[in-house]
Structure 1
């Protein structure tokens, strides 16, 4: 399975640097996934940093038994990538044939 995690290192409050079996490497922010009673302890950055690799399951686990499926981790966007593809709300779009108003004219 390409999405097996072979290396995991805490990198920031709620992010992990992950390496997958197929060689893919990326940093992912898990904060949006930390919902539900088992994930409450992981909201504490010190506890989150206690992440371990379960080499049998091929994913990340924490001492309280919390884990995240490796395919979920593989499908997460790399940190910063999702925001880079979104347009700014101030991004202007010029339609073909549209006239551009210029200040002072």
Structure 2
């Protein structure tokens, strides 16, 4: 099992992206746009809702109020270092 650094913060950015900061000191940008389809994940298209993103306990991932979430390995592997 691959271990990933823990999230220390998540900040919504323009263009449906999230700035992720990790306990390793890394800063990465994750593009949420490919996930924003269908009725459930489509709720993320509303900017005020998208901006409600929060970290899961222990820095293991992110979620939104209605339960949409993205796994920690996807966040890390599919994000771009900045």
How would you bin the TM-score normalised by the shorter chain? 0.7 to 0.9
User: Which ranges of structure 1 fall in alignment gaps of 5 or more residues?
Assistant: 82-105
Return the structure number with greater relative CO, CA threshold 8 A, min gap 6. Answer: 2
Give the structure with the higher percent strand. Answer: 2
| TM-score normalized by the length of structure 1 | 0.64
Which SS does the other structure have where 1:64 is aligned? coil
User: Which structure has the larger Rg over C-alpha atoms?
Assistant: 1
TM-score, with length taken from structure 2: 0.79
Which of residues 13, 19, 37 is equivalent to 2:39? 37
* Matched residue count: 80
Give RMSD over aligned pairs: 2.2
Which of structure 1's runs of 4+ aligned residues deviate more than 6 A?
none
